[in-house]
Structure 1
Amino acid sequence: MKIVVIGGTGLVGSQVVKDLEAQGHEAVAASPQTGVDTLTGAGLPEVLDGAQVVVDLSNSPSFAEEDVTRFFRTSTTNLLDAEAKAGVGHHVIVSIVNAESVDAGYMRAKVLQEDLVKASGSGWSIVRSTQFFEFLAAIADSGTVDGVVHMAPVRFQPIASADVARIVAEVAVGTPLRGTIDIAGPETFGFDEIVRTHLASKDDPREVRTDPDGTYYGAHLTDKELVPLGEARLGEVSYEQWRKAQA
């Protein structure tokens, strides 16, 4: 089976390509680096020729709301149109658990992407993931004010990117879900707790202050946004396993 992975040179995409190849599929990594640009449409007809499945892991270079909204609207529309012409039968995207509940421009843009996919009329699957272990440092940076990291004491269930890739690869080779699945890591932490633990493991001297008013990329949180609220498929890699592998 030929499967085109848009964003196939990135963190998750490169692992999806590897997982699919290990299963014997023809996995094609497509990105601007390989001459495929979903914003302009360049290279799409060529790379989609003969493809049965497209996995879209592309992301906006800017997270400003206007930019990210334009990116997902344009990129997704171009991709879906090109897939229809090429006869692609299954479109898979990775989105974010509870995206509609977080008051942030990036989340609204991801919901827009989901809506475009659902309205496309093609076979589709949406994998909604919690945040990745790999982004814990960036999360700490986003909550840093005057050298102190402010984190809300809410539940948080991060996942290893390797688990995300493995599950996405499984979904890609299956029958289109025409629905959404949630995935998350095997453990639930306090948001402040795991960031504190992670920075300590990196010998980062910053204080992590438990702050109910601490925000997540500018969004205020309750105890419900960063964990799946219903049934979810859990990853296999614990935080400690991931941390030791990184070391």
Structure 2
Amino acid sequence: MQAVLYVSHGSRVEETRKEAVACIEKAQAYVNVPLWKICYLEIASPNVEDGVEELVQKGATEIAVIPVLLLSAGHYYKDLPEEISHVQQRFPSVTFTYGKPLGVQERLVDVLVDRIEAVTDRERTSLNLLLVGRGSRKPETKRDIESIAHKLKSKTHASSVDVCYLAACSPTFEEGLETSLGREGEGTVVVPYLWFTGLLIRSMQKKIEELKAEGHSIEMTHYLQDHPGIVEALADRVNEALQNKESFPVLS
């Protein structure tokens, strides 16, 4: 029996977990596999092994593991494959296949455009955008964020689109803010390329409010959350995984 295991990052913030569940439930409505489960890589429960165990107990013989991740980084290449490698030893008769993160897609850039338009006046044509990524030591992360920034520039009337990162990469969020605020134009719009709320979003919001209190013209868009474009993209990744049945990488 085919099953789907959604693996979200995990957070201590209850609102983050609720948002993840809500988005996944909306995507699952477009997936014709009735047996499915949500689990987490860290911090929250159930973990990956518990999620697999529950699916197996309900009759799963094939499990499509779907990383609920925006981009390919350490969790996709290392952490999740290690978890599944461990679980495979416990359930050797179960076939595990691997889905892909959402990656760089035009429709996800369109989500960012929607988020920007929600906080700006359409007549303002010289805004500076600051695209904020989570960051990773994997070089693909910077490449992907820069690609998204390039696409965002072509879809908006922004004067500039700078990029920065919250961890592991440079420029940092603080450096990005300094660069963007120093540019000529009608102010800065901070665009977080983050899926759900959490401590990072809250920290950014606090910094933006401080800058606004100091007189800076700056706004921050809503994060991606469960925008219809995001839900559609996640559902498509699940259906692709069910059709393509890509095996997990063999870890040395």
TM-score bucket of the superposed structures, by smaller chain: 0.3 to 0.5
Structure with more of its chain in strand, by fraction: 1
Q: TM-score, normalised by structure 2?
A: 0.39
Q: Which has the higher contact order (CA 8 A, sep 6+)?
A: 2
Name the TM-score, length of structure 1 as normaliser: 0.39
